[in-house]
Structure 1
């Protein structure tokens, strides 16, 4: 897993891309405290367990892939 930092809040997660469609994210801090999107939704009465992802973090992961700082381990076999 490789570290990826959210460009919006600075929260850092560990991330692995198995393909362009499959991303594994491991949070390294309490998202409801660090991430503004999680914090706002929890403050409004939501549960952080029901939040699938943060849009800003998703954008940061996509940018890391685009820049090549997060590699995609594409498991397709060349045919």
Structure 2
């Protein structure tokens, strides 16, 4: 089950490289991330292999921290 599309996106900056993304939690397990720039400043993503699903553990940590602080809410489903 997913959150409605009218749930707002929240800005989150990576604690490592400072890249800002917009985030919406649809559930505890599902996170939508909308990039506002390229990934050139990200150490983990700047060398991503074509076809691979890119991920940045540092950005994930920043998002999880924002969820714990309550700045990125998780809807009750």
Common topology (TM > 0.5): yes
Structure 1 portions without partners, runs of 5+: none
Structure 2 portions without partners, runs of 5+: 1-8
Query: Partner residue of 1:73?
Result: 75
Deviation of 1:36 (Å): 1.4
Query: Partner residue of 1:52?
Result: 54
Greater mean alpha carbon deviation, residues 65-74 or residues 5-14: 65-74
Deviation of 1:16 (Å): 0.1
TM-score, scaled relative to structure 2: 0.80
Moved over 6 A (4+): none
TM-score, scaled relative to structure 1: 0.79
